[in-house]
Structure 1
């Protein structure tokens, strides 16, 4: 049966993934809300612009009713009013009207239709083809210093009055104060929520780092301790004194495993001290042949206990070499060898290495129970264990293959699996060559 710790760590892993999805979903929602708010602000701005234009046109139409601006009857006012540019409005006049009355009524109409911003008015004479006078209307809602602006000349065959609103955009934006304030409050709330999510996720991330440290510590010390346990059992046998060579061999195994544990303590402390996802590796010149020999030597007592067959196949003509972190890469190989011993009733393991294009491959093939193809994609996930077959009868936390993949990823390599249920499994590591 699966241990309670394995079930707990698997559930924690699932919770971690759920949290990541929650944070991602919340982030996307915040982005969508901000996008929608900006979209509506733009729509409201456009609406306010149209409302302003409409109110100006209504004011001019009302002016035609207040003052006789043209000699002929006015039937279609839309033909007399033009809007040549966003800040300019032009309306047709005749020659017989009182300018002061026009200005007074225009100001009154603008106030009635809530066009509460200042305006410059120029009077165009078609005979002289120029503006003959200019007036300034102050704003009812705000005070501006009058500034002389060059008025564009729109040549027409009739007299007209040109109205220019220099602070039109400022006035339109002032009409949107409520929307700006509410949007600012919303943005502050969303920013606070985003910061809280980031802080919460960071705390969860740091907690996972600590948990990873404990889990990796537990998992990676399991094999050396098992080897030392077997070696110590051998040394406690009474006949061992009469076999000095065997006594020396197992004493050396305990010494090597002790040194290995010391190095692993230092390595795991480095991993625990960093917040990075990548392992802090230190690449050096490594002989693949020697690396595999040492890995097999470390696993040898376990292989003897399980009466396993270990076959090492290396190229006879050359010694394979690469740039790698020797301790981490050896740890990955030992993990795969341990799995090969675990999941086979009568283990027969083939370890091989060679060149493949510009890369070096290391293959570990066993005759174990095999893994169904539908589980291959999840094999390297942290805390994941295959939920079927005899795998439940083997103790473990689902951390080994996850850690192996982290090591291979840190070396910019890849690891693949080829497995057939009931036949066996092959793990193949492909690493950049020299």
Structure 2
């Protein structure tokens, strides 16, 4: 529709110019006849040869200077601001004698003296060319070109957006299938672990050995937590923004960190060193389950992305506004082009040993989600020497 409208506007402008040219040239003929005191003996004196070339049959004598004066006068009357050049047929020499190039531009005009051809059967006539007429047609449609360009830009953006939406829909379907499959894959072995651990706990050999009983209790408790954790993480992956209702309570910060440290040392096969520099008097108002999860996630990531002998330092810094809890490690760090995206869902930083490190890219997304729900702040940066530091700012209102 826009192209059709543009074409119609072009045809309208073209017709308008042609009518102005025709009327102006017709008036030139009338004035020459009036000067010669003769009457028009023929009709259709103005003939259009091409879009930019016209032949005017006067059928009467006329002077070169008079013709040029009348051309300028009549074109000014119809406000036709066009460059033009003309040539007069000389019957004595049987040639077109070039007249002049009339231009509104002060620059040197580009004359075309050989562009005028004879017209058989005519004696008193002149030819006139408009070399910039085609360009004038196009430039006169300036606003239509702008509207057309804007429309095409909007159309391109729209098509691109539709393509992205279709791709996103495809990825969403793949994500949903992945989540449904992983739910089953996680639940089946976890159920077996719970059944086996509960059965083992009831055995006399375990009951009579305090150390083994403690380990079995840890296995059972962590299995229940893992089951709950899987349900919550899968809900995050599904994109449900209303899946969490925080149940805040007072949590002793150092005790929780010590528990995270103990579980990490039991789990890891590496020679892990975890230093906790946190005051015993700090209590945090938070959801216990999710707070434990985010602490374990951060420590587990620090261990996971250290090649060997991980050294993790957990510090707290108290200020008037609250507490900053920092987790520093001696790992490989994160390249600057990826560090801003580590909290995005399903985003994983490209690494050389990515096949050895399992994960789905939802751990730090979950951490960021919980931090936001508590109205806290989290940041991450590379250390000066080695590794990264993740900092959590807990405002004063949540510090007990």
Return the TM-score normalized by structure 1.
0.48
Does the 8 Å contact 1:360/1:433 carry over to 2? yes
Aligned counterpart, 2:363? 400
CA deviation after TM superposition for structure 1 residue 336, in Å? 1.6
| Residue 204 (structure 2) pairs with residue 241 (structure 1) | no
| Residue 382 (structure 2) pairs with residue 418 (structure 1) | yes
**Distance in 1, Cα, partners of 2:30 & 2:224:** 103
**Distance in 1, Cα, partners of 2:347 & 2:7:** 50
Does the 8 Å contact 2:236/2:366 carry over to 1? no
The correspondence of residues 268-283 of structure 1 with structure 2, limited to 5 A, is 268-274=233-239, 281-283=244-246
Aligned counterpart in structure 2 of residue 363 of structure 1, from 326, 331, 351: 326
Distance 1:60 1:369, change over 3 A: closer
2:389 counterpart SS class: strand
**Distance in 2, Cα, partners of 1:84 & 1:293:** 94
* Corresponding residue pairs, total: 295
Deviation digits for residues 165-210 of structure 1 (CA, Å, limit 9, x no counterpart): xxxxxxxxxx9xxx9xx99x98998698457515412313413542
Deviation digits for residues 71-103 of structure 1 (CA, Å, limit 9, x no counterpart): 6976323324556899xxxxxxxxxxxxxxxxx
CA deviation after TM superposition for structure 1 residue 399, in Å? 4.8
Distance 1:231 1:369, change over 3 A: farther
Aligned counterpart, 1:58? 22
Distance 1:331 1:190, change over 3 A: same
The correspondence of residues 306-321 of structure 1 with structure 2, limited to 5 A, is 306=268, 308-316=272-280, 318-321=282-285
Deviation digits for residues 7-57 of structure 1 (CA, Å, limit 9, x no counterpart): xxxxxxxxxxxxxxxxxxxxxxxxxxx9xx88x977984785365135324
Aligned counterpart, 2:302? 340
**Distance in 2, Cα, partners of 1:237 & 1:283:** 37
Instruction: Select the structure that is richer in helix.
Output: 1
Aligned counterpart, 1:350? 313
Does the 8 Å contact 2:176/2:238 carry over to 1? no
Aligned counterpart, 1:384? 348
Deviation digits for residues 287-315 of structure 1 (CA, Å, limit 9, x no counterpart): 4635x644653663441354755443333
Aligned counterpart, 1:76? 70
CA deviation after TM superposition for structure 1 residue 400, in Å? 3.4
Aligned counterpart, 2:222? 257
Does the 8 Å contact 1:231/1:253 carry over to 2? no
**Distance in 1, Cα, partners of 2:317 & 2:249:** 14
Does the 8 Å contact 2:320/2:396 carry over to 1? no
Does the 8 Å contact 1:235/1:250 carry over to 2? no
Does the 8 Å contact 1:308/1:348 carry over to 2? yes
Does the 8 Å contact 2:324/2:392 carry over to 1? yes
CA deviation after TM superposition for structure 1 residue 416, in Å? 0.9
**Distance in 1, Cα, partners of 2:295 & 2:259:** 12
The correspondence of residues 216-231 of structure 1 with structure 2, limited to 5 A, is none
Aligned counterpart in structure 2 of residue 428 of structure 1, from 373, 391, 394: 391
Aligned counterpart, 2:96? none
Aligned counterpart, 1:141? none
| Residue 257 (structure 2) pairs with residue 267 (structure 1) | no
Distance 1:209 1:61, change over 3 A: same
Does the 8 Å contact 2:326/2:389 carry over to 1? yes
Distance 1:419 1:317, change over 3 A: same
Aligned counterpart, 2:47? none
Aligned counterpart, 2:170? 204
The correspondence of residues 291-306 of structure 1 with structure 2, limited to 5 A, is 293-294=255-256, 296-297=258-259, 300-304=262-266, 306=268
CA deviation after TM superposition for structure 1 residue 62, in Å? 1.4
**Distance in 2, Cα, partners of 1:84 & 1:431:** 78
**Distance in 1, Cα, partners of 2:160 & 2:77:** 45
RMSD over aligned CA atoms reads: 5.5
User: Structure 1: 5+ residue runs without aligned partners?
Assistant: 1-33, 87-174
The correspondence of residues 130-145 of structure 1 with structure 2, limited to 5 A, is none
Does the 8 Å contact 1:383/1:399 carry over to 2? yes
1:334 counterpart SS class: helix
Does the 8 Å contact 1:361/1:429 carry over to 2? yes
2:348 counterpart SS class: coil
User: Structure 2: 5+ residue runs without aligned partners?
Assistant: 37-65, 81-140
Distance 1:356 1:201, change over 3 A: farther
Does the 8 Å contact 1:378/1:384 carry over to 2? no
2:252 counterpart SS class: helix
1:76 counterpart SS class: helix
Aligned counterpart, 1:172? none
